Structure 1
Amino acid sequence: MTPPPSSEAPSSSRILARFGTAHAVTNGAPHDGARPQDTASQHTDPQHTGTGTAPDGKGGDGGKGRLPLRKRLSYKQARNTALLTLALGVILNTAQITYDLFNVEQQTDQLVQQVLSTARQPAAEAAYAFDQALAERVLTGLFEYRPLYHAVIYEDFGNQLAAKDRPEAEGGLKWLAEILLPQEKTFSIQLVIERHNQNVGVLKVSVDRYLIALDFFRRSAIVLGVGLVWTVALILVVVFYISLSKPFLRLTHGIAAVDARRPADVLLTVPPQHADDELGLLARTTNDLLLEFDRALVECERVEARLRERETHLSGIMDNVADGIITLDEDLRVATMNRAAHLLFGYEPGQAAGQPFVGFIADEDWPRVSTELMACLRRQGGSHGGEQRAEVQGRRQDGTTFAMAFGVSQMRLGDRRTAICVVQDITQRKRSERALRESEERLKQAVSATRSGVFDADFATGLTWWSPEFLEMLGYPGGASPWHDKPLEALLHPDDAPATMSTIERYLSGDSGDYLSVFRLRKSDGSWLWIEARGLAIRDERGRPVRFTGTMTDVTDRKRFEEQLLYVSTHDPLTGLANRTLLQDRLQHAIAHGARKGTSVAVLVMDLDRFKLVNDSLGSQVGDKLLRALGQRLVSCVRAADTVGRMGADEFMVIAEDLPEPQVAARIAEAILVGLTRPFAIDGQQLFITTSIGISLFPGDATDTDALLRDAATAMDNAKAAGGNSYQFFTPRMNEEAVARLSMEHALREALDLNQFSLHYQPKIDLETLNPVGTEALIRWNHPEMGSVSPARFIPMAEENGLIVPIGEWVMRTALAQIRTWQEQGLQPLPVAVNVSVRQLSSGQFAERVRQLLQEYGVGPEFLELEITETAMMSNLAYIADTLAELRSQGISIAIDDFGTGYSSLSYLRRLPITTLKIDRSFVSEATSNTDTAAIAATIIAMGRQLGLTVVAEGIETEEQLDFLRRHQCDQLQGFFFSKPRPADDFCKTFLKPTKMQAVAS
């Protein structure tokens, strides 16, 4: 290491620039060539100034434009000011100097007493022990106080133990100091050993009166100058008030009448007697200025329009910055937040404005954050303050906290200061750091066994000493040094050398507070060793380093571990592919690269088809092995430059950049689909898997990562909805459909609370008597904007998002309440069939819930029938069978809806406690026109009768269909041929009869 250059540098000089402008007014427009003195000569007609001054600007007395001395306001003011200043100055300054001299003596006495008190204890110890050396050191310390010129310590016998003197200061004003301070300033203090309560001596010092008076002389000179200035200022104020009050008041009224929006409409006038003096000149100059302001306002309006346009542009940029940006006013209230900050803290746009920033920071971190914010706002300097960064706990609107990187800097707009806070969610980074600390703890034993090397650089001699341990670390045993013929920089890794040497130079020059550097050094065998260097510089009284000492620690193992940890944090642990974090980072880089080169980027999002079936049937271990094998297969199907990653569960993603045309993305998707046609050999089994792929393109579909991922996921959903094992490119229509679906789902969530659902009832007709023997409750949704929404649209959506459970309970409650109402009205209710979702049956305790509802509404189980679709029931048959058996044991009828469209297995018909089969309307509608369909329908009817089940045909619309069902002896009929679904009141009037008791009573 070489001694640093001298830390002394020439002081920076300040360049003060004055910039002035003067415009002459010619025909209402500025003239750049006009001289400043010509300005007052423009627009001096009487209607502007009321003075009648000649156009040449000369005074009314015929002079050469200059006022006689005795007529000038300045002459009168100067005369009166001089006389009053002399009188007041002598009185006030004499009193001030006398008071200051008294304060100087008081302050000197207090300061000397404080110095003596500081030295009292060590001086007492020296006197008690008769330690002359200690006494001399005490006196040497006292002489750090410059006004002392004589000091002596006496021990308790009166003998002098130690003394120290230096010459009194000399100067031209020493005689004045002796006059003002005639008595010599000598102080003494008793030396007492507190622990023995023993007086052991005396400490006496003498103070140089001239040094004390020097500071007083300086302050007195300042006081005289300042007092003179204040006196002159006071007198000038009085004179100005007396001499200029009325004319200036007239000018003030004229200025107050000026319209700020049109300043040139009203110009100033002055009394004729002031037309040729300074007030007249002021009025003319002000009028010229008003004309100039009028033109400047027009220009300002144009500038403001441009600024508003730029502000809109900057606002758009702010909303697309990934980090949160918050501006705070001087009261630490939120002024603005960009979109990222709103999302981070959970606020809607504009909701956080004006709120105290304390609500955004955890309580334990607020004192530190508020201190930094106030320090930032108070900091003096340029228009922008340096940034202060910290890591704190942020608090969202819902009260939850999260780890947050917090940076604050100052922005100054005129006299107003604003704190700009940059915030970032570092929860993931904190988790990684915690994982690193835990891993380092596991390596604690190994780390504690390592040895550190020591270095000591002496800049006076230019020599540096290295400990043997450090040389041994580098492979130089026996004390051999690699630096005897080369500098440190020669052994540094080329990638580390510039930053390492810069860090050393900045620390030694005082630009940084601590020295910590990590770099690589070449070992004797040519390999590289990671070193962590820490050091401390010893500096002289001028701040220049004279010695530099520190340690060198081998951190090679730690650096390897950090690289491994970085890999773990960015790769999926199951497949070894890039994880979501790395994928998003790669996608951001790909977008930036594509924007620079003008090429396309494709995002392919994949979701495996029916992977859950593999997991459920073969177990999660087989599923994990399949995912690992599939990840390797995907890598082999794409280009070498493409990134393949796993986003979670059975979802994968491919990032393809530098695409010359979109068809390249299609070829990649086709290669993946073809590659997955080959089976996977897992634990001796041949497994087949397919995938649905959605593709979005940069810049065609979107220009940011979130939008590209969203669009690709939307396209993937469409590919899966189309049957899977295919790919689709994103189209705007997909986005419209997704938005419409979200809108529908939101409306569906509100429908229950807003009472938008109703039940209609369609009768079941007995084939033999053609009388109603039952009814089916059918839900209807009447939306205020969408109108009547078909169940075929909202029921599947409710099945997907789980809303079918509360909707299903509402249907059952409403149906039971309606049965209860009919009973209370004296009517004979019919059994009501209610459709039940497989989600309801699988939700747990469903049978018990139905029993509670029957008991709550006082309805017998014979009036309730539950309809379950065949396909839904087969998805979880083992669990549903027990639930259906429990329901049937309560006396509730069970019907299979849409029979014939699903598995249509006789085995489950025997196993399940089913009472009714409903033939799907598709068979009924084609029974009279298609012989195959007619045969199937006849078979279902015959099979149901053989099993002792009630067979219901739904969807009957024609006489021919009725005749067909009559020939094959179907039990019950349902359809528009008999009645459309009707509201409860209409259904009651048409199909329900009074009970026998009610009929007798009537």
Structure 2
Amino acid sequence: MYSDELGCKELDGLTRAQLQSRVSVQDALLAAAVDGIVAIDARGHVRLFNRAAEVLFGYAAAEVLGNNISMLMPQPHAALHDSYLQAYAGGGKAGIVGIGRDVEGRRKNGEVFPMHLSVGVAETEEGRLFVGICHDLTSYKQALLNLHHAEKRYRDIVESQTELIMRVDAQLRLTFCNPAMVLFLGESAEAMLGKSLLEFIHPDDRVIVKRQFEALFSEGLHQQLQIRMRCGGSERWIDWRVRALGTPLQLKEGWEFQGLGLDITEHVQAREQAEYLATHDPLTGLHNRASFVEGLRLLLSNRRHEGRRSALLHINLDRFKLANEALGQLAGDQILKMSAGRIRASLSRHDLLARLGADQFAVLVDDIGSAKQAAALAQRILARLSEPYATAAGPFNLTASLGVCLCPDDGRNHEQLLRKAEAAMHEAKAKGRNELVFFSEQLQEQLRSALELELGIRQALAGDAFELYFQPKYRLDDGRLQGMEVLLRWFHPEWGAVSPARFIPFAEKHGLARGIGDWVLRQTCAQIRLWQAQGLTVPRLAVNLSAQHFECRDLHGQLRAILAEYGVRPAQLELEITEGTALGNTGAHLALLRQLRAEGFGLAIDDFGTGYSSLSYLTRLPATSLKIDRAFVSRIKADTRHDPVVEAVIVLGHSLGMEVVAEGVENAAQAEFLRSKGCDLVQGFHFSRPLNVAACTALLVEQAPR
């Protein structure tokens, strides 16, 4: 690697051996060095170029030795290097000798690269040599550049984030805030730094923040907390995710935490609104039934071992439906709001008030003291509710019926107490409205009877314990069988025969009528299919539809589905509806009735004359039959020559194109009178009692053509 052999004086063998050894060690060091080592003389010619220098610059040593060092330098340094050497040789100062600096080198392929150059001076027999150690900085510089870019990207991300980013020290003093945080808090970054984070947090949430950061101190884990922070005079909910920076060992010298915050105010408000709507009535702002029941349940649970008495009041507005229909829904809503306000004004702030349903309210009074105090409160509420209501549609007066039960006197179970208070309210309404009734043993007995009857009906439906009976309808002009009305009979295993007059009105009152009607319709269609399979001619069968059926959104679809299931045609059925049902919700009902009639169903108006029919509306009904109620038929005696009501109904029915049917005909005199007045069809004990399936089958066999 040297340009020529070392000149030396004649030495003895030992001295020469030592020198050779030293040269050998020097060569090994040059060969093993990972940095390039280059030596030049005072004229700038390369005298030493080790293996690492070959790798660094891309030249073989033979290509460089003896040439000017400027070949390894980029411009303009290459052109100026000789002048640097001359200045140094003339006593000038070299700025690089003995200190080292970062410079640039040039590889054989022309690539310029960064390197660190350390230069030393050696005085030799050949003259002064400058020895330079060249360390490649390419990877280091690239790493620095990458770090710079990464930091810039991180800074850009942090500064462009809409999320809030902060750092705090162990005393919760702010040490960093990104622009979003600065904008959110409405202060300059300089003013915020060093301030306590707690200054910006709602006072009620500061304890939570302290506890969460204490957990970070002890556990060193991530924490999530939702807190309220002030923002320009208002409060915003922020969801913070906070973590400790560094390991617990590193943090011993100084804790620091970083938090990423997201404004979730709208989410919290939406959640609170959903929770409010789930527990409150949107119209009045009162608790709803579910919330009231939960409040009652919790109170009873907490009072289980205490001697306090509580009162439960069930309030129902009398004639509210009339007000709603007469004045309109807007006025009805006004009345409900005013009623809620009047009840609330009669209570203390500790009492629980709820709207249970359309026109029903409930009050829970804890620690009422006595029944006398409960009665005084109830009377005060009734008096306030009876005051006139000024609505946008005009003034209106109404009253309320109120039922009261006491705890623990009337029970400790919330379901029992609610049921008993409601039973007392119904008793108050039955007594004439604007009444107050306390639950009593007598009501307990009635309630028990009602519960047993309801259970019995449900069991009868589930176990097919009802039975169909059929009452024939005959033509008066020739005595032919024209059709049959389907009746329902119930034979209870313990009570025996239960009168329809008892269980049908009960079912209608307690929402069971539709289930019974569906059962009757299905069984009727099944019986028609059975008789037809036996080859019998089945006359049109009349089945009753309750008002609850018309509350169904798709009554038409359900009827058609049942008929399709059993292969029955619409023309084989006549649907009997009461006068009141036919006139309810007139527009929707009229459209449905016309659709049913167009498909072939017969339509009969039952119990005509017992309601308050509008004759103008009756003329628009697509009914095929008009039934005279048995109450009018029963007035016909043997010597009756005229009955204005019966005769008027017959004339009206015929004028509207309907057949007229008289029900409850029990003797020949009634039958003869009806025949003389032009009545078309009759049914009743005089012609046939209701028949069970076996007896009715025999009748159909008898009527079959021979």
**Does TM, scored on the shorter chain, surpass 0.5?**
yes
Within 5 A, what are the aligned runs for 1:370-769?
448=162, 452=166, 454-456=168-170, 467=175, 508=217, 510=218, 513=221, 536=244, 545-550=252-257, 566=272, 569-570=275-276, 571-579=280-288, 583=292, 586-587=295-296, 590-591=299-300, 594=303, 598-606=307-315, 624-647=333-356, 651-686=360-395, 693-703=402-412, 705=414, 708-709=417-418, 711-712=420-421, 728-730=437-439, 732-733=444-445, 735-737=447-449, 739-751=451-463, 754=464, 756-765=465-474
Instruction: Give TM-score scaled by structure 1 length.
Output: 0.43
Structure 2 unaligned segments of length 5 or more: list them. Answer: 1-31, 37-50, 53-158
Q: Which range is displaced more, 731-740 or 867-876? A: 731-740
SS where residue 634 of structure 2 aligns? helix
**Counterpart position of 1:981:** 690
Q: Distance in 1 between matches of 2:453 and 2:612?
A: 30
Q: Distance in 2 between matches of 1:572 and 1:696?
A: 24
Would you say how many aligned residue pairs link Structure 1 and Structure 2?
A: 537
Q: Distance in 2 between matches of 1:522 and 1:848?
A: 62
Superposed displacement of residue 920, structure 1: 1.5
Q: Distance in 1 between matches of 2:472 and 2:192?
A: 105
**Amino-acid identity (%):** 31
User: Kindly tell me: are residues 973 and 639 of structure 1, through their superposed partners in 2, closer, same or farther at Cα, counting changes over 3 Å?
Assistant: same
User: Does the CA-based 8 Å contact 1:745-1:797 persist in structure 2?
Assistant: no
Superposed displacement of residue 683, structure 1: 3.5
Q: Distance in 2 between matches of 1:793 and 1:871?
A: 20
User: Kindly tell me: are residues 475 and 961 of structure 1, through their superposed partners in 2, closer, same or farther at Cα, counting changes over 3 Å?
Assistant: same
User: Does the CA-based 8 Å contact 2:245-2:258 persist in structure 1?
Assistant: no
Superposed displacement of residue 834, structure 1: 3.9
User: Kindly tell me: are residues 819 and 864 of structure 1, through their superposed partners in 2, closer, same or farther at Cα, counting changes over 3 Å?
Assistant: farther
**Counterpart position of 1:204:** none
Structure 1 unaligned segments of length 5 or more: list them. Answer: 1-126, 132-155, 158-444, 458-463
Superposed displacement of residue 660, structure 1: 0.6
User: Does the CA-based 8 Å contact 2:173-2:194 persist in structure 1?
Assistant: no
Superposed displacement of residue 740, structure 1: 1.9
Q: Distance in 2 between matches of 1:476 and 1:696?
A: 64
User: Does the CA-based 8 Å contact 1:594-1:601 persist in structure 2?
Assistant: no
Letter in 1 for 2:489: R
SS where residue 366 of structure 2 aligns? strand
Superposed displacement of residue 957, structure 1: 3.5
User: Kindly tell me: are residues 549 and 878 of structure 1, through their superposed partners in 2, closer, same or farther at Cα, counting changes over 3 Å?
Assistant: closer
SS where residue 703 of structure 1 aligns? coil
Superposed displacement of residue 808, structure 1: 4.1
SS where residue 739 of structure 1 aligns? helix
From 497, 500, 519, give the equivalent of 1:807.
519
Q: Distance in 2 between matches of 1:904 and 1:479?
A: 81
Letter in 2 for 1:604: L
Q: Distance in 2 between matches of 1:496 and 1:851?
A: 62
Q: Distance in 2 between matches of 1:838 and 1:702?
A: 35
In the TM superposition, what whole-angstrom CA distance separates every residue of 1:357-400 from its partner, at most 9, and x where no partner exists?
xxxxxxxxxxxxxxxxxxxxxxxxxxxxxxxxxxxxxxxxxxxx
User: Kindly tell me: are residues 938 and 992 of structure 1, through their superposed partners in 2, closer, same or farther at Cα, counting changes over 3 Å?
Assistant: farther
Q: Distance in 2 between matches of 1:877 and 1:529?
A: 52
Instruction: Give TM-score scaled by structure 2 length.
Output: 0.58
User: Does the CA-based 8 Å contact 1:759-1:780 persist in structure 2?
Assistant: yes
1:920 counterpart = 2:621: no
**Counterpart position of 2:582:** 873
User: Kindly tell me: are residues 913 and 815 of structure 1, through their superposed partners in 2, closer, same or farther at Cα, counting changes over 3 Å?
Assistant: farther
Superposed displacement of residue 899, structure 1: 1.4
Q: Distance in 2 between matches of 1:757 and 1:969?
A: 37
Q: Distance in 2 between matches of 1:477 and 1:471?
A: 6
Q: Distance in 2 between matches of 1:762 and 1:471?
A: 87
Q: Distance in 1 between matches of 2:163 and 2:499?
A: 75
SS where residue 917 of structure 1 aligns? strand
Q: Distance in 2 between matches of 1:608 and 1:797?
A: 22
Superposed displacement of residue 650, structure 1: 5.2
Q: Which range is displaced more, 571-580 or 715-724? A: 715-724
Q: Distance in 2 between matches of 1:492 and 1:694?
A: 50
Superposed displacement of residue 896, structure 1: 2.3
Q: Distance in 2 between matches of 1:529 and 1:773?
A: 77
User: Kindly tell me: are residues 798 and 519 of structure 1, through their superposed partners in 2, closer, same or farther at Cα, counting changes over 3 Å?
Assistant: closer
Q: Distance in 2 between matches of 1:632 and 1:587?
A: 21
Q: Distance in 2 between matches of 1:885 and 1:968?
A: 29
In the TM superposition, what whole-angstrom CA distance separates every residue of 1:741-774 from its partner, at most 9, and x where no partner exists?
44234224324xx4x4443333345556667555
CA-atom RMSD, angstroms? Answer: 5.8
SS where residue 658 of structure 1 aligns? coil
User: Kindly tell me: are residues 886 and 607 of structure 1, through their superposed partners in 2, closer, same or farther at Cα, counting changes over 3 Å?
Assistant: same
Letter in 1 for 2:256: T
Within 5 A, what are the aligned runs for 1:770-849?
774-784=483-493, 787-796=496-505, 800-801=511-512, 802-814=514-526, 816-817=528-529, 820=532, 824=535, 832-837=541-546, 843-845=554-556, 849=560
From 606, 609, 631, give the equivalent of 1:900.
609
Superposed displacement of residue 659, structure 1: 0.7
Letter in 2 for 1:740: E
Letter in 2 for 1:549: E
User: Does the CA-based 8 Å contact 1:694-1:712 persist in structure 2?
Assistant: yes
**Counterpart position of 2:7:** none
Superposed displacement of residue 845, structure 1: 3.7
Q: Distance in 2 between matches of 1:491 and 1:886?
A: 68
User: Does the CA-based 8 Å contact 1:625-1:682 persist in structure 2?
Assistant: yes
Letter in 2 for 1:809: L
SS where residue 489 of structure 2 aligns? strand
